[in-house]
Amino acid sequence: MDREFEIINNSGPAWPEGNGLVSIIVGVRDMAGTISSCIESLLQQEYKKKEIIIINDGSDDETPNIVKNYPVILVNTPKKGIAHARNLGFTMARGEFIAFTDADCVFDANWLRVMIPHFGDPAVQAISGVTVFRTDSSYSSIYRQFEFEKRNSRDENEPTFSGGPGSIFRRSILELVGGFKEEWFHAEDTQISFMIVDLGYKIIKEPNAITYHVPESGFRRLVQKGYRDSRAIVRAAMYHPKAGFKSKFLTTWFIPYDMVFQPIVYAILLVETPLLILGYLLYVYFPFFWFLSWLGYLILPTCILWFSMYCYSFLPAYSVATRAPPNRNRVGYFIKTQVLHMARSLVWGLGLLVGGLMALSYRRKYGNFKE
């Protein structure tokens, strides 16, 4: 590709710039299987004053050829990541409001219609909806669906997070904060939300704005996402402590336990356990380390703590097992979910450690966030 990006405008007659116009930015790479349903749900929105901009981030499949069949603006660009795609779409957008979504989602027809009126409050700078994960009946997709149901069940009149595939921002606030920080490479929406809160503006949640996400399944995929999400969210929270500690996003699922206390416990165990084993072995096999004898008293409490973490996995495992299809082995779903939950909890703890170190590194490199 000779130029950095290529624009193909099939959108037809344009709405006047600003004045209630919503620019919907869809970053996409290799999503030929879902992009059609996404675009069709956007075209069928009851709120008509909109433009749709598809940023094709270097797809190698038929995604761009499929997009050309729809009345949208297609921008082809080399692979540079979702933050770059969002920023590129934002710079080309003409709307007063900027919506961001993913190519593996579809929307209720009233998605925009129920959200836009909230911008009548000048303090509101961003609005989030509700994401519903569909399931393919696998234990892992049911686990993911259940996890988001718990997140969405919270009654938040003023959250501190506007992210995911169905959020809308005022154009002016994106201009003020400089768009998404591409160097953050993940959870850019969390970071930009915390910046908005740090500036004293409001983010609200509209429970009737529903986004349906394709099933997410697979043990390895969910564990990898758990680590990536934990690392990025902790990094953002520590870099923006004012918004981070206020954020109810960090206290989701059953109680604040799941994404606050439990990761902290696992982070402690991940650090303590290998050091405990090493120290005790040194004491047993090398008399010189006699002063480490006290470590023996920590073995039983550590084992009890590991066992309590395992017992807690019964809660999500039971919930998933009760949702298992009638022709599936519920005991198998229960056991597999336990393993998945423990693995995700471990990587959340690891992400807490790594994210904290990254936040310190970013603070040294970029300084504190200031208005």
Per-residue pLDDT band for 252 (boundaries 50, 70, 90) equals very low
Per-residue pLDDT, averaged over 303-327, amounts to: 90
DSSP H or E stretch at residue 274: helix 262-285
Pick the CATH number of 6-218 from 3.30.300.30, 3.40.50.720, 3.40.50.620, 3.90.550.10: 3.90.550.10
Domain locations in the chain as residue ranges: 6-218, 257-366
DSSP class of 266:
H
Q: How confident is the model over 204-237, as pLDDT tens digits? A: 888 899 999 999 999 999 999 888 888 887 787 7
What's the CA angle centered on 335, arms 330 and 338, to 5 degrees? 125
How high is the pLDDT of residue 52?
95
The rounded distance, in Å, linking the Cα atoms of 196 and 300 is 46
Residue type at position 353: L
> What would the pLDDT profile of 138-165 be if each residue is shown by its tens digit?
999 999 988 887 766 654 555 666 766 8
* Separation between Cα atoms, residue 47 and residue 22, nearest integer Å: 9
Predicted TM-score (pTM) of the model is 0.84
pLDDT at 79: 87
**Average pLDDT over the chain, rounded to an integer:** 84
pLDDT of residue 242: 72
